[in-house]
């Protein structure tokens, strides 16, 4: 027992040992239930703030101190599910966004073929396009388009221009081209928390035109959590669900290290964000991502990385708990 206690204590030290996501074994996804993945990509945003590719390393660095059990769910996810750290998507042409998106799609197709549910940390929001080109109408979704729980300050449904500073499948375009490809179903998808600084007065129109169920931050505050959760459950129930979480949906006080900081109005606090993720309990959640963390902008105590770790843990636990049903 003393030996086991010592081992447990050592594994909870973030500065000791080889860092993997939540101390999971680093191996391929075959035979696993959940694959944790790093996506160190940052050429799909096009802004001058491009350090999102450092997100996976930052989360691996601290995740050993992450929670091991979920008190509210009453589960130990590591006992329920076989969870691996499947490593990082390789980017031999890291400055070529379109090649990177292809690399992401190829990497996640192998995870989909293994029927391991991926949760990724990393890059800018263009990665969701690459991931869902693999998961949409794939094995995990039983050949169906995916429904999104999209928590973000921005719509990411650009249709007015064909590229964003040279990136075609950019962080601003994926919500449109995935719908055009029929890899996602906007009519059963939720976009919650939109509050970004719009460049034009019609900034929400593309989302409405595609049929997304939009809840701006202003509407969220007016309607309240219970009403929004009720709508989301109605839309997502009986669907293959993918959770995409842009850290800029959070208030800058708890997530200052993001690529497109939105300080113009209050974002989600951590309890609100976690409640929105937990609305998917019991649903067929096939994957998720946490994007746009920029460690070079973080505070000395790595608060954004810690917050991202908490979000990833909630996704892990939702999927592990759901394993009892799916």
* pLDDT tens digit sequence for 228-275: 999 999 999 999 999 999 999 999 999 999 988 888 889 999 999 999
Give which of 133, 91, 96, 84 is closest to 112, Cα–Cα: 133
Give which of 68, 7, 100 is closest to 313, Cα–Cα: 68
**Domain interval for residue 70:** 2-322
Give which of 85, 116, 91, 115 is closest to 105, Cα–Cα: 91
- Would you state the pLDDT for residue 15? 76
| Token digits of residue 228 | 């929004």
| Token digits of residue 182 | 């029929």
- Would you state the pLDDT for residue 261? 86
* pLDDT tens digit sequence for 43-88: 777 665 678 898 899 999 999 888 789 999 999 999 999 999 999 9
Residues above pLDDT 70, as percent of the chain: 93
Residues above pLDDT 90, as percent of the chain: 70
Give mean pLDDT, residues 169-184: 85
CB-neighbour burial class of residue 205 (10 A; exposed 0-12, middle 13-18, buried 19+): middle
Helices (H), the chain: 2-11, 55-62, 77-80, 97-113, 127-135, 174-180, 205-210, 217-223, 225-236, 270-278, 303-322
CATH number at residue 270: 3.40.800.10
Give which of 171, 318, 190 is closest to 247, Cα–Cα: 171
CA distance 228 to 222: 10
* Per-residue CA distances from 270 to 91, 258, 303, 310, 314 (Å): 32, 15, 12, 9, 11
Burial 41-58 (b: 16+ CB within 10 A, else e): bbbbbbeebbbbbbbbbb
pTM: 0.94
Count structural domains, the chain: 1
**Element spanning 291, H or E:** strand 284-291
Q: Which residue has the higher pLDDT, 65 or 40?
A: 40
CA distance 52 to 304: 12
| Token digits of residue 167 | 């990136």
Give mean pLDDT, residues 11-33: 88
CA distance 213 to 211: 6
- Would you state the pLDDT for residue 287? 98
- Would you state the pLDDT for residue 45? 78
- Would you state the pLDDT for residue 326? 47
- Would you state the pLDDT for residue 167? 67
What average pLDDT does the chain have? 91
Res 163 pLDDT > 70 = no
CB half-sphere exposure, 49, CA atoms < 13 A: 14
CA distance 103 to 53: 14
Question: Which of 183-192, 196-205, 300-309 has the least mean pLDDT?
Answer: 196-205
């Amino acid at each position: 027992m003393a030996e086991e206690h010592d081992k447990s204590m050592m594994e909870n030290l973030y500065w000791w040992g080889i860092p993997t996501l939540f101390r999971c074994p680093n191996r391929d996804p075959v035979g696993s239930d959940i694959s944790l993945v790093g996506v160190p990509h940052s050429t799909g945003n096009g802004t001058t703030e491009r350090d999102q590719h450092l997100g996976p390393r930052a989360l691996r660095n601290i995740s050993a101190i992450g929670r091991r059990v979920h008190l509210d769910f009453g589960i130990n996810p590591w006992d329920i599910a076989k969870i691996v750290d499947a490593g990082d998507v390789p980017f031999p042409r890291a400055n070529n966004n379109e090649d990177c998106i292809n690399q992401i799609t190829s990497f996640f197709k192998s995870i989909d073929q293994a029927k391991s549910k991926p949760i990724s940390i990393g890059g800018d929001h263009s990665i969701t396009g690459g991931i869902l080109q693999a998961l949409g109408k794939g094995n995990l979704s039983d050949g169906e388009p995916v429904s999104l729980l999209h928590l973000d300050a921005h719509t990411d449904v650009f249709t007015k221009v064909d590229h964003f500073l040279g990136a075609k499948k950019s962080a601003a375009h994926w919500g449109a081209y995935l719908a055009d490809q029929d890899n996602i179903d906007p009519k059963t998808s939720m976009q919650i928390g939109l509050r970004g600084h719009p460049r034009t007065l019609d900034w929400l129109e593309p989302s409405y035109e595609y049929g997304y169920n939009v809840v701006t931050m202003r509407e969220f505050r007016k309607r309240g959590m219970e009403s929004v959760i009720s709508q989301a459950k109605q839309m997502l129930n009986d669907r293959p669900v993918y959770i995409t979480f842009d850290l800029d949906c959070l208030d800058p006080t708890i997530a200052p290290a993001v690529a497109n900081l939105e300080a113009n109005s209050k974002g989600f606090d951590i309890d609100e964000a976690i409640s929105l993720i937990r609305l998917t309990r019991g649903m067929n959640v096939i994957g998720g991502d946490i994007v746009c963390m920029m460690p070079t902008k973080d505070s000395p105590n790595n608060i954004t990385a810690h917050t991202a770790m908490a979000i990833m843990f909630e996704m892990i636990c939702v999927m592990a708990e759901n394993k009892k049903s799916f």
